[in-house]
């Protein structure tokens, strides 16, 4: 029986000394998850202006930081396109005429039924787990999966097998042989050693070394805590061992997640500067004419709440409020909107371009249809990861019956229906713009429709150009 008694595993998820690669992975993940604006993190991502920004001003700007989750929106949209094909997945747990112990997922007493309902011991169902895996692959360059075997207490089974996603910064080290096979992995985790909620919370940091023969857990002082043996094989011949932990990733030529996270961080900082400027210009400056005694007296009166001030008639000039110039805010807002627009127009292209080299003909195709390249890549990578998990789980429950190990597999559909951009544009024109329009719109709503059409056609239309088109349409609606 394969045993991997790590049922209380909890991802370490603590910021330690990271390699440059891991630090970029963490950077990407915190921009996806929103952790980059948490109080403990925001000063690492919201950059202080070293000239003309005092520490107090910077601290106040950190409190006012209001991020928009553009990166998360793109990632969720991409992974959602793959996961919406869930009903078309071909997944087999066991053959009807074999003795595969995973059983029928429709049977409430089977292993496969339990995994479909709770695959990680935390109540996560199987489809949700792979949705999380697709997000991890899209954001991170190389996350890992750990297949945790059944937990035994002597001859008694105390819990079933589980699977866990391991963030790359919790993989401390790994070793490969001359053929590139991973032979050893060192992983960090935090173990909750409590037996009751009444106990003091004392999570203990551990690290585990996985080899072909088993695992050994150590404490932070390198003392052995416990260990166990297992045997996982590459194929049914049982000639070559594999580990219960392995990386899964997209075969992208560049770190697209990190690059897009950087773009979002630039937008975040630009928004912060703009928002803080807007806040400041709403508090006008009061210019007080007078000597120090008169100035201090008026300031005290203002603090006391008075709205009447006396001015010494001997003083030249008058007290007045100074309104700050809003030109800078307008300019910053314009730059910000352009950056956001460029981000969304480039985000899908970045992932798509990284999915493979294209011919000149492919480059000029509509982005909506060429997005299939990335979606197919993501779907295929998910299949590879899930099949690697199913291969190990089948061995856990059928250790002495290698003939049934290939029984369990998955194959996702790669039939992704691209957005019909031309059809969408034509429908909008027919419904709102043509001479036979179905729904008449006021000018402001018509501008919204025209802006949407222009964006779909990769064209920017605003301001006077937009006003001119609206006027022309009112004067002479196009025939359909």
Q: Which two tokens stand for residue 338?
A: 């352009």
Contact 184, 41 (CB under 8 A): no
The helix/strand/coil state of 323 is coil
**pLDDT, tens only, 395-441:** 999 999 999 999 999 998 877 655 566 777 778 888 878 766 667 77
Q: Considering Cα of 100, then 102, then 104, then 108, what sign does the dihedral take? A: positive
Average pLDDT, the chain: 81
Stated pTM of the model: 0.71
381: left (phi over 0), alpha (psi -120 to 50) or beta: alpha
Q: What is the mean pLDDT of residues 328-346?
A: 64
**pLDDT, tens only, 49-103:** 888 788 888 888 888 888 888 888 888 888 888 877 777 788 999 887 778 899 9
All residues at 6 or more sequence positions from 86 whose CB lies less than 8 Å from its CB, including other chains: 127
Contact 343, 267 (CB under 8 A): yes
Confidence class for position 150, pLDDT limits 50, 70, 90: confident
**pLDDT, tens only, 203-241:** 888 999 999 999 999 998 899 999 999 999 999 999 999
């Amino acid at each position: 029986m394969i045993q991997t008694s790590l049922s209380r595993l909890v991802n370490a998820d603590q910021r330690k000394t990271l390699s440059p690669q891991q630090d970029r992975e963490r950077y990407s993940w915190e921009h996806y998850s929103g952790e980059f604006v948490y109080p403990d993190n925001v000063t690492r991502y919201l950059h202080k202006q070293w000239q003309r920004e005092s520490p107090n001003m910077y601290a106040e700007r950190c409190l006012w930081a209001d991020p928009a989750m553009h990166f998360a929106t793109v990632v969720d949209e991409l992974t959602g396109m793959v996961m919406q094909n869930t009903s078309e997945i071909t997944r087999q747990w066991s053959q009807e005429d074999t003795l595969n112990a995973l059983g029928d997922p429709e049977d409430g007493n089977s292993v496969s039924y339990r995994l479909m309902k709770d695959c990680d011991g935390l109540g996560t169902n199987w489809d949700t787990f792979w949705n999380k895996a697709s997000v991890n692959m899209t954001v991170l360059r190389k996350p890992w999966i750990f297949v945790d075997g059944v937990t035994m207490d002597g001859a008694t089974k105390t819990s079933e097998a589980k699977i866990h996603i391991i963030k790359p910064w919790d993989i401390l080290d790994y070793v490969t042989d001359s053929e590139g096979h991973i032979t050893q992995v060192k992983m960090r985790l935090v173990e909750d050693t409590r037996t009751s909620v009444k106990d003091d919370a004392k999570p203990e940091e551990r690290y585990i070394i996985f080899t072909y023969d088993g695992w050994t857990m150590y404490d932070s002082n390198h003392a052995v805590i416990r260990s166990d043996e297992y045997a996982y094989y590459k194929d049914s011949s049982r000639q070559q061992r594999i580990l219960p932990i392995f990386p899964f990733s997209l075969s992208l030529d560049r770190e697209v997640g990190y690059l897009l996270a950087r773009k979002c961080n630039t937008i975040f900082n630009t928004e912060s500067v703009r928002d803080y400027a807007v806040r400041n210009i709403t508090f006008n400056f009061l210019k007080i004419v007078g000597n120090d005694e008169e100035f201090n007296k008026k300031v005290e009166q203002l603090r006391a709440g008075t709205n009447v001030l006396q001015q010494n008639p001997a003083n030249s000039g008058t007290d007045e409020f100074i309104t700050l110039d809003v030109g800078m805010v307008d300019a910053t807002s314009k730059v910000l909107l352009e950056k956001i627009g460029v981000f969304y127009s480039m985000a899908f292209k970045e992932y798509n371009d990284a999915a493979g080299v294209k011919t000149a003909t492919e480059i000029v195709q509509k982005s909506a249809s060429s997005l299939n390249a990335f979606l197919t890549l993501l779907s295929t990578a998910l299949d590879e990861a899930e099949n690697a998990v199913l291969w190990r789980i089948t061995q856990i429950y059928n250790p002495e019956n290698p003939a049934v190990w290939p029984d369990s597999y998955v194959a996702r559909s790669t039939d992704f229906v691209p957005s019909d951009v031309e059809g969408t544009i034509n429908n909008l024109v027919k419904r709102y713009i043509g001479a036979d329009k179905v729904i008449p719109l006021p000018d402001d709503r018509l501008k919204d429709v025209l802006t949407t059409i222009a964006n779909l056609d990769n064209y920017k239309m605003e301001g006077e150009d937009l006003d001119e088109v609206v006027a022309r349409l009112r004067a002479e609606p196009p025939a359909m």
